[in-house]
Chains A and B, each alone.
Chain A
Amino acid sequence: EIVLTQSPATLSLSPGERATLSCRASQSVSVYLAWYQQKPGQAPRLLIHDASNRATGIPARFSGSGSGTDFTLTISSLEPEDFAVYYCQQRSNWPLTFGGGTKVEIK
C-alpha cells in the first residue's frame, strides 16, 4: 500500500498570504495524484487532478505541482473561504489511498 504523508499537519496563515502544502508518497505515483478540499460538515471537493490539472470551476489561485514522490499544492493568496482541510489522494496503485490531511487555519 502506498502511504501518503502530508505536511505540515496544521498551517496557520492570514488571508492574503501564500499557502504551500506538501504530500510525499512512499513510492512513485507518477503524476497520479489529486488534491481535495473539505470544510466542516461538507463533502470533499476536487481541486487538482493528475498533479497539476485544476478541476472545473476551481480558481486560478490553486495550483499543483510535482511528480514521482513529492507533490505541492499552492494557494497563491488565501481567501477567507480557503480555510479548510486539504487531502491528497493517489490512484497509481490499488488500494487507493489518502494522506492524513493538512488543516489551513486562520492565524
Chain B
Amino acid sequence: EVQLLESGGGLVQPGGSLRLSCAASGFNFSSDAMTWVRQAPGKGLEWVSVISAGGGRTYYADSVQGRFTISRDNSRNTLYLQMNSLRDEDTAVYYCAKAFGDSSGKFDYWGQGTLVTVSS
C-alpha cells in the first residue's frame, strides 16, 4: 500500500524558515517524480514544486522560486521542501504527492498534508 506521510509543519514568523519532510513507503520511491502542492485555508490547490525521480531536475512555481528548495533522499525514501523567507501568503496545508507513468506532471497518490502557518 502506498503511503505518504508529511511532517515538519507548524507556526513560524514571517521571514523564518521551515523544512517539510514526506516519508514514502509501498512503492519504488526512486522511480517516481514527486511534487509539493499547497492549499491556503478555504482556497483551491496551488502547485509548488516538482523533482524528477533521480533528483536532477526541479521546477518551481514563480511564487516560491528562489525561496523554496525541493530535494529528495532516495536512500531514505524521503522528499523534502526547504522553505526560507516565509511570508504570510505561504500559510497553507502542504501536500506531497507521487507522479506516475511517463510524466512528472500527474499525481496518483497524495499524503494527508501538513499545516504551515506564517504569522507574527
Contact = CB atoms under 8 A, between A and B. Distances in A.
B45 A94 contact: no
Contacts of A50: 106
Contacts of A96: 35, 47, 50, 59, 105
Interface in A90-107: 91, 94-101
A18 B20 CA distance: 40
A43 to B, nearest CB: 4
Interface string B84-106: 00000000000101000101111
Interface string B54-65: 000001111000
A3 B112 CA distance: 26
A43 B44 contact: no
A87 B45 contact: yes
Nearest to A93: B105
A100 B111 CA distance: 21
A46 interface: yes
Contacts of B95: 43-44
A24 interface: no
Given A43-B113, A45-B110, A97 B105 contact: no
Interface string B15-58: 00000000000000000000101000000111100100000000
B108 A98 contact: no
Contacts of A55: 108
Given A44-B95, A95-B59, A95-B61, A56 B45 contact: no
Contacts of A38: 45
A101 B60 CA distance: 22
B16 to A, nearest CB: 25
Interface of B: 35, 37, 44-47, 50, 59-62, 95, 97, 101, 103-108, 110-113
15 contacts: A32-B105, A43-B111, A44-B95, A44-B110, A49-B101, A89-B45, A94-B59, A95-B60, A96-B59, A96-B105, A98-B37, A98-B46, A98-B47, A100-B44, A101-B45
